[in-house]
Structure 1
């Protein structure tokens, strides 16, 4: 360090004070500078000097002089621009205001830089508006809020937008500049954009679309209106993108969607010949997609559309259910429902984006009409019967799978699946015992689908029927290979069925002819010897026999029922027999007796000759073997007349002996079969006991809810039905009521 040099401390030199005269001189310099800025001569100014002058005025507490002076200068220059704007014509007022705005904002920014120290040391601490904010407030007050400008400016902007909606070309950059100016003027809590433009614009938009939409809809079709509405909504979104503030977008969409969609939603759905319902009816997929996309903008309207679709589908389904034509043909009935389902699956996938809420409405609609009465359960069972008897003959594996899967589609909608099971079981019984099934593998494939849908309990009896058929085949082969078989007068083909699996009720026994009696006795002895502890009951009403009959025209092979064999063999001993003699000799149950006897006397197959005229049978009727019978066929199957024909002939009703009404398949319908009703009692009681055993104590409502939930896969029990079963269980001391609350049940171990 050089010791010859050192630091010296000088005394503090105070800044000279700025008195009032000096302050006025400094302000005058600033005032002239502001004028030069407005005269666009800012390049000749020294910003450092101007900043120092403003600094000194503030430092020596002449800030009010400076602040008020700047405020007055800005106001004066704005007033000059105001005069030019007022004098401008309407078509030029927007350009004049934009020019003034751009001109003054340049000046505002320059002044803000010069007066930065005043803002920091005076304006902010004293809670006064900074220079730039003050300038914006003055611009708003002097120009925008001036009575001669305010209304003209607003109406001109709205008129330009109206012109654009009419298809005319407007100066979008100009509109954008004006609206951006409004946004910039949103200072000190005042929303100029909203108060001076947006609320008027939204009201104008509302009125415009209210008039336009009503006029357009009254003169055009629904699809045309939807296209128009889509176009208009797209234009409004583009308008936001082109010049409106982004804050307007949501409000604008609400207004436009309300007037274009919500107001006319009901009319669009119900419009005659072209509305939504007509689109559904005529399968107009592109139009449906457009109206869906339009309504999807408004949640409330979307719900209206879903409800309209629900009502349409349900009504279409009810029409199918009520149709006399489809009800006569179960196959036509089910195919009609499948076609309806396929149609709306396509509509929802193609036009409604597979929306879950729409799919739920579809399912609700199908459940609504499919469960009106028992028509669908009965007809679906008959449809499956037709498929498995030969309706899928020649189909590929893929086609078979598709047809079976369509059965499950309708099956899922059934609320009372146990009724379907009852009908299905009866028809399966007839297919298996009559050898009419096209394939055991396909039968089991169908049952596997039911099992996957409803669980193993649903198909236990169906699977048991197939198990019986397999065991019967083995037993039959064993019998044929035994020494006993050689002693039978008539060869037998016997199916041994388990009582609990098959929907069959044993009728009263009839008197079999001696050869048949001998053969059945031998089989019974043989079977019971192999299977001790079992009991065999012969279901004679289901048996069939092949016999040879000698007519004058030659021998014929007749396939007849077992009851008919009992009748025909009597005529080997006597040529003519009376009704009572035949009845006494066979002891066939009354209804079956008349049915089988009349079937042998029909005009087409008159194997027996009834001596009296008329369709009915009288007590004194006489019958004889018709040797004159002729037929071009060697083998003849004698069909049974329907129980209705027997009932119609003598006024009695009958039973088929298999637990179903004598009305046959055509009579399947409204009432719940007695066997199903009885089974429901057992299911409900079993469910109640299971629940109460696990829970010990439960209120009535909770028990009803839990029981309904557990049984939902089979059927939906009525709360009153559950209540009756609870009362029955209380009487049998499975449950008891709580002593303090009668609506609470307790389980008795």
Structure 2
């Protein structure tokens, strides 16, 4: 007879030889399966899979050691314990971190490679730590004694020191890995979660605690002797390690997490564990012998807690947690949690009581059987309670499992695995407790008991691969071909009737479908699709047979559906049933296509045609297009829309299903049209042709009829004004209806039909009221009329033209009323009044529409340029002159306006300026008047002057105001220069107040200077300034422009002292009479060095105010008197001839400037285009220069001739009407 140990040995070797390859094979499947590689926990599971393979060897070894009563079981337990410690020290925090919601985003970052590297680093640390555990246990293990404290044997050998260094180094690598992972996780965020910070802190505490413990208790390194301080440090670290965890439960972030209930339970467990850990820390701190007791209590606590909650945590970590927690069985689940905690406290209490009863300070007692009788009442009671608690735990698993699968007919691989493993753990634990802890007499100590315990241990490690291969659907799809499972002897008719028809019916009715039934139908379809069948003399694919059966099924199913729809009479009920059926049908189509994907692939590849979902839709379409059915369904939808237009209360949502179904049939191909040749818009039209023909056209016709009748009714009962208001309301109502129910393709067409009936056919009457309403300025009515006309572009252009003519007429009349006014402000005010009135109307009545804004601009430009004032003076420059003089008056000192008023006037003047066609003329006049104000110091406000220049620059560009800006710069420079000159030492010795304006040549609009003989008194001052200026600016030359100069003379020869304000020439003339009493005109002209004609102009104001008297000679009037003590002679000098001459010169300058502008624009255009047709070139030139002036065509042609003479352009030889640029 074969010995028992040989039999058991063979059993063990057989199990291990089968289970280990299976584990490795499953790991390969796991890594190579695409479905699992796409899972967010892919890397974690791969690591744990490898870990399970290694653990399998240790677990089975432990089982064999127990089976044969080998003394090596303590060694295997030590190795397994070290393995667990190494694996979870390395991967535990990594798994917790990567379980956060941020995992997917993290794995998609460029740092994914770094993360993989960290996992490899973790496994290297794991392997090193595991190897150290094995090496030391093998070196120091003796069968008769279990030695854990290596320090007591061979303390200071080289191997011990090397091992110590390796352990500390591996711990440091682990800590660095945590830091790197933490840095990666938060690198793209500005904040971190509570759990991440907790894990980081706990990693540091564990590192320090483990390092100190290993140093003091394991290897006794000389640099860290065993002292109260190192022991104290270890105790403090243990206290900290226990104290970090309870904060975890109070974090708000995790109260909102889906695993809240699990975490709450574990949090409470951690609070209790903290008490034991702190107790252990204090025991170590004060070198109490009670530390073994606390370790025993903590071990029992861990066992009780994880026996109860471990499987619950794993089950509830599944994706089904949310749906489970929201189910009606949530209370039952909470009850089970409470039951688990009762069991936990009972088991924990037993651990504490037994350890307290049997604990002796000098002996660490673990195996109670060796010291106390098995009949001891405490042992038996404890044994019964432990077994009962294990049974309760197993029942808890079974109940939880039942709850989890109660709402579904399929279970996952993990759930089944946990259930079976719970049973094995129960029996294994019960047997181990029975034979190793309490030795109950009913179960004697024999080899068969040991064999049972060993086999259970082996099964505990080995059953996972078997369950994986038998239960995992991924494995089924990967290794087991569906074709091998199909019984070829069963006919298709039987398969169709028993398997496929029930599944298709459930899909069509949107009923709940069992996953196994769905998979069975899927496999059947696949297997039959790849078969070849004989139909007559031809061989066909099995998909052909399935396709034919499905087409018949679709027809019968849809027929049945439409019989239920059309059996009723009421339109609302018809549409309600149609909508419900269509929603079910449209939901079933994608499910059906998913089930039929193998059929679709096989059939369309071999025979062409449509997919099964489309075939079902075609069946629906064919039944719907039957005349009676279409009239019933589509007619009901049209009648419902008409009832809504008649303000009946209806549910318009019922129409949406009809529209959606008709628009869904666009996939049907047409033999006459190749869709690849169509544009996007044409493709949309093509795919909606069925909808357009069967719904859009009927609804448009119905809309036309309804609103044509409605328009006739309204016109018969209301006036045209009231009709417009009602028409607008009806159009808005129709737009709302179309937006809610109609397809986007139909909305514009339906609204167009409404507008045709209510606007286009009544347009003549509507437009006939426009001028009447415009005269009355009836804003509300005009707004309604405008809104209606915006829907018809031709009507909008028509009323905009009428508005333009009306504004032009009103503007002409307004200017005619002020044509005799002498003040320039009267003209400006008249223009602004007309503009303001109609601009307000454009904003309020016409919504600031571009057509009316443009019409207002055209009308204003017309009456500003051509009006009674310009016609009266027969000058195109008159309007520009009026505006320039208006601005001159506003900005001249002495007008007495407030600063805010001046800004308003300038802003309003820019409105008039906008409508000037001859802006270049305004520029010349305004520049001349500005120069006079600046030179004469007559500007009221420099800021206002600058603001006006900025306004002009914004309107016409930088070049328009360049001269004005330079003039201002000259004045600023001259003021600074005059201040410096007055402070000059040579000037301070003179008594005269002398100031100079230094102006840039070519900038200021002054005529040529008149030369005359300067009196010595004036010449001395001029010479002094010239010397002063030469010192500062040696390279500059001064040319005196005395025509614009003026000064003051004080008299002494009259009864009263007078002050004369005179020009430089007038001053020179009067100063000659200081030396002589009388002079002839000829002699005076010779003394002054001027002509007699110029002298007459200078003498005119002096003779007019009687300062001089003309007899035979010119003499001073000794009897001169005046009421004013200060007399301005410059204003009395009138030079009409000079003014006329200046005007002529300005006209010539304007003409010359325009010619230059036109030539420059022409060259720019031709340089860019190279060849331009004559009329196009003229049009483009006008477009470029119109911001400054509107040129005459004759002037443009003349400029073309000049440019051809200068050889900038030429006529093309082949076409004389085309100009070419000469480069």
Q: Same fold (TM over 0.5)?
A: yes
Measured in 2, the distance between the counterparts of 1:236 and 1:730 equals 61
Contact map agreement 2:724 2:784 (CA 8 A) in 1: no
How has the CA–CA distance of structure 1 residues 205 and 679 changed in structure 2, closer, same or farther, with 3 Å as cutoff?
same
Contact 1:489–1:518 at 8 Å: present in 2 too?
Answer: no
1:701/1:639 Cα in 2 relative to 1: closer, same or farther (>3 Å)?
A: same
For residue 965 of structure 2, give the secondary structure of its aligned residue in structure 1: helix
Task: Tell me which of 942, 945, 948 is aligned to 1:440.
Answer: 942
Structure 2 counterparts to residues 207-222 of structure 1, below 5 A:
none
How far apart are residue 703 of structure 1 and its match? 4.2
Per the TM alignment, residue 577 of structure 1 is displaced from its structure 2 partner at its CA by: 4.6
Mapped pair 1:330 → 2:814:
no
In structure 1, stretches of 5+ residues that fail to align are 1-100, 107-123, 138-169, 174-187, 217-224, 612-620, 648-652, 663-671
| Of 1200, 1203, 1217, the match for 1:729 | 1203
Q: What residue is the counterpart of 2:764 in the other structure?
A: 263
CA distance in 2, matches of 1:720, 1:345: 36
Residues 669-688 of structure 1: pairs in structure 2 closer than 5 A: 673-688=1147-1162
1:425 positional shift: 0.7
Contact 2:703–2:753 (CA<8 Å) still a contact in 1? Answer: no
1:746 deviates by 4.5
* 1:306-317 correspondence to structure 2 within 5 Å: 306-317=800-811
Q: Distance in 1 between matches of 2:1069 and 2:1034?
A: 34
Q: 2:783 & 2:1074 partners in 1: Cα distance?
A: 77
Secondary structure, counterpart of 2:797 in structure 1: helix
* Residues 815 and 830 in structure 2, CA contact (< 8 A), matched pair in contact too: no
Report deviation, 1:501. 1.1
Q: 1:131–1:680: structure 2 CA closer, same or farther, 3 Å change rule?
A: closer
Residue 465 of structure 1, CA deviation? 0.7
* Counterpart residue number, 1:606: 1106
Tell me: CA distance 1:197–1:297, structure 2 relative to 1, closer, same or farther (3 Å): closer
Q: Deviations over 1:447-466 (max 9, x none)?
A: 22322333322222111111
Q: 1:469 to 1:232 in 2, by over 3 A?
A: closer
Where in structure 2 are the equivalents of 1:133-152 lying within 5 Å?
none
Given that 2:815 and 2:831 are in contact with CA atoms closer than 8 Å, whether structure 1 keeps it comes out as: no
* Alignment partners' CA distance in 2, 1:746 and 1:601: 65
Query: Aligned-pair distance for 1:422?
Result: 0.8
Distance across 1 between alignment mates of 2:951 and 2:629: 82
Whether 1:346 aligns to 2:846 is no
Q: Give the match for residue 721 of structure 2.
A: 226
Deviations 1:3-39 (A, max 9, x none): xxxxxxxxxxxxxxxxxxxxxxxxxxxxxxxxxxxxx
Matches within 5 A, 1:641-720: 641=1132, 643=1134, 647=1136, 653-655=1137-1139, 659-660=1142-1143, 673-693=1147-1167, 698-720=1172-1194
Q: State the shift of 1:345 in Å.
A: 2.6
Return the alpha-carbon distance in structure 2 between the equivalents of residues 292 and 391 of structure 1. Answer: 48
Partner in structure 2 of residue 471 of structure 1: 973
Higher helix proportion, which one? 2
State the SS of the aligned residue for 2:1061: strand
Aligned to 2:928: 426
Q: Which deviations, in whole Å up to 9, do the C-alpha atoms of 1:367-418 show, x marking residues without a partner?
A: 223334333322222232233225896645x665544433333333334322
Q: Tell me, in whole angstroms, the C-alpha distance in 2 between the residues paired with 1:673 and 1:285.
A: 46
Alpha-carbon deviations, 1:210-257, whole Å to 9, x = none? 7777xx6xxxxxxxx624642577589999999xxx999865654454
Q: Is the 8 A contact 2:800 2:852 kept in 1?
A: yes
Shift of 1:698: 4.7
Structure 1 residue corresponding to 2:1116, chosen from 592, 607, 625: 625
Question: Greater CA radius of gyration, 1 or 2?
Answer: 2
Residues 406/270 of structure 1: CA separation in 2 closer, same or farther (3 Å cut): closer
Rounded to whole Å, the distance in 1 between the matches of 2:1014 and 2:626 is 120
Compare relative contact order (CA 8 Å, sep 6+) and give the higher one, 1 or 2: 1
Offset at 1:475?
A: 3.3
Match in the other structure for 2:880: 377
- Structure 1 CA distance for aligned equivalents of residues 978 and 1123 of structure 2: 35
> In 2, are the aligned partners of 1:510 and 1:589 still within 8 Å (CA)?
no
TM-score normalized by the length of structure 1:
0.60
2:849 counterpart of 1:355:
yes
1:175-197 Cα distance to aligned partner (Å, 9 max, x none): xxxxxxxxxxxxx99x9x99x99
Question: Structure 1 255/376 Cα, relative in aligned 2: closer, same or farther at 3 Å?
Answer: same
Q: Is the 8 A contact 1:392 1:400 kept in 2?
A: no
Task: Count how many residue pairs are aligned between Structure 1 and Structure 2.
Answer: 542
Inter-CA distance 594–327: structure 2 relative to 1 (3 Å threshold): farther
SS of 2:1058's equivalent in the other structure is strand
C-alpha spacing 1:713/1:252, structure 2 compared with 1 (3 Å): closer
Q: Distance in 2 between matches of 1:227 and 1:448?
A: 50
Contact 2:1078 2:1116 (C-alpha < 8 Å) held by counterparts: yes
Q: How large is the RMSD of aligned CA atoms in angstroms?
A: 4.9
Match of 2:135 in 1: none
In 2, the alpha carbon distance for the partners of 1:591 and 1:286 equals: 69
Q: In structure 1, the residue corresponding to 2:892 is in which secondary structure? A: helix
Checking the alignment, whether the CA contact within 8 Å between 2:728 and 2:784 is kept in structure 1 is no
Q: Is 1:364 paired with 2:888?
A: no
Q: 2:774 aligns with which of 276, 282, 293?
A: 276
Give yes or no for contact 1:415–1:712 (8 Å, CA) kept in 2. Answer: yes
CA distance in 1, matches of 2:1213, 2:751: 66
Structure 2 portions without partners, runs of 5+: 1-568, 575-621, 636-645, 650-692, 743-748, 867-875
- Contact 1:310 / 1:362 at 8 angstroms: preserved in 2? yes
CA contact (8 A) 1:738 1:746 kept: yes
Deviation at 1:433, TM superposition (A): 0.3
Is the alpha carbon distance of 1:707 and 1:276 closer, same or farther for their aligned partners in structure 2, counting shifts above 3 Å? closer
**SS of the residue aligned with 1:555?**
coil
Cα deviation, residue 329, structure 1? 1.7
DSSP-derived class of the 2:769 partner: helix
Please give the alpha-carbon distance, in whole angstroms, between the structure 2 residues aligned to 1:171 and 1:483.
98
> CA offsets, 1:671-712, max 9 Å, x none?
x72222222233333344445555555554454444444434
Q: 1:688 to 1:635 in 2, by over 3 A?
A: same
Distance 1:389 1:250, change over 3 A: same
Q: Secondary structure at the match of 2:1139?
A: coil
SS in 2 for 1:506: coil
Which residue pairs with 2:961 in the alignment?
459
Give the structure-2-normalised TM-score.
0.38
CA distance in 1, matches of 2:1148, 2:926: 15
- Alpha-carbon deviation of 1:593? 4.2
Q: Distance in 1 between matches of 2:1121 and 2:1162?
A: 63
Change beyond 3 A, Cα 1:447–1:133: closer
Residue 497, structure 1, aligned to residue 981, structure 2 = no
Note closer, same or farther for the CA distance 1:688–1:199 as it changes in structure 2 (3 Å cut): closer
Cα distance 1:480–1:743, how it changes in 2: closer, same or farther (>3 A)?
farther
Rounded Cα–Cα distance in structure 1 between residues aligned with 2:759 and 2:766: 10
SS of the residue corresponding to residue 547 of structure 1 reads strand
Distance in 1 between residues matched to 2:1212 and 2:630, nearest whole Å = 82
Helix, strand or coil: the match of 1:560? strand
User: Are the counterparts in 2 of residues 367 and 414 from structure 1 also a CA contact under 8 Å?
Assistant: yes
Q: In the alignment, is the contact (CA less than 8 A) between 1:209 and 1:256 conserved in 2?
A: no
